Amino acid sequence: MRILITNDDGIHAPGLKSIASVAAEFGEAIIVAPDRERSACAHAMTMREPLRVNEVKYQAAPVKAFEVNGLPVDCVNVGLTIGWPDGCDLVLSGINNGPNLGFDVTYSGTVAGAMEGAINGIRSIGVSMAPLSTEKPIDYEIGAIWLRENWDDLVHLDLPPLVFLNVNVPNNPPKGTRLVGMGQRVYKDRVEMREDPWGRPYYWQGGVAVLDGAQPNTDIQAVRDGFTSVTPISLDWTDHEVLKRLQKSFE
């Protein structure tokens, strides 16, 4: 099995080391990752600047590793170009430093890496650690263990074209795994105005996630209940039911 690994936390991120160590057990893996953190870049790609690629010594796992001065989408496309021009068998993105639940998938560079793999017709999986508090550091080994134990199921699930998997692992040994839909993860106080030392205003974007517990059969509820969530994400964003209704209206 040929495996391409990327992330949005950068080439030296601990989660990348964890996922690479697992991938190396199951096939020939290469890492192509950003040279620095690129969180919340969504599905952006570099169009008007050259992409520079450097091979780096990687001692955390027996894999070749390359850093790119670009985004996760760039890394997937560069990785296919320099590694396997005729394609690979699996794209892994992660393990992300934090959850990608609900609407987070639209912002996430980790999810975008998996999305780009699916666009290229490759089975793709985004993996994130999903602590719902900051009381203890993220334990990436929990994610690595879950991935190792569920590897065969993940790579043999019957997925239609243009569908990839978004996985969120709790920061404690999970009680099990739930296949669920996306929830609605929103943020309050999204933009905060501050002042620099000269009294000039500037704005800091972030906010605190609001998790509605009354979201049955969703990734949010699964992680809140201590389970790993696995969500199939389709690249076809068309609302086909609404489309049918609109077509009738225009008739």
Please report whether residue 130 resides in a domain: yes
Looking at residue 25, its pLDDT comes to: 97
Neighbours of 241 (CB within 10 A): 8
The torsion defined by the Cα of 162, 75, 31 and 206, in degrees rounded to 10, comes to -90
What φ, ψ does residue 183 adopt, rounded to 5°? Answer: -95, -165
Q: What are the helix (H) ranges across the chain?
A: 14-26, 72-82, 109-119, 140-149, 151-156, 219-224, 240-250
Q: Is residue 197 part of a domain?
A: no
- Structural domains counted in the chain: 1
Is the pTM value of this prediction over 0.85? yes
What is the separation of C-alpha 215 from the centre of its chain, rounded to a whole number of angstroms? Answer: 22
The answer to whether position 205 is within a domain reads no
pLDDT at position 212: 63
Answer whether residue 24 is part of any domain.
yes
**CATH number of the domain residue 165 falls in:** 3.40.1210.10
Q: What is the pLDDT of residue 193?
A: 93
Of 91, 86, 166, which Cα lies nearest the Cα of 124?
A: 91
Number of CB atoms found within 10 A of residue 163's CB: 15
pLDDT averages per 10-residue partition of the chain, 251 residues: 98 97 97 96 96 95 96 98 93 97 95 98 98 89 98 95 97 97 80 94 80 80 96 96 95 84
Q: Is residue 198 part of a domain?
A: no
In a domain, 200, yes or no: no
In a domain, 228, yes or no: yes
The boundaries of the domain holding residue 31 are 2-183+215-250
In a domain, 202, yes or no: no
Measured CA to CA, the distance from residue 104 to residue 186 in angstroms comes to 8
CA distance 37 to 89: 26
What is the structure's pLDDT at 180?
A: 97
Q: Which residue has the tokens 């969500």?
A: 231
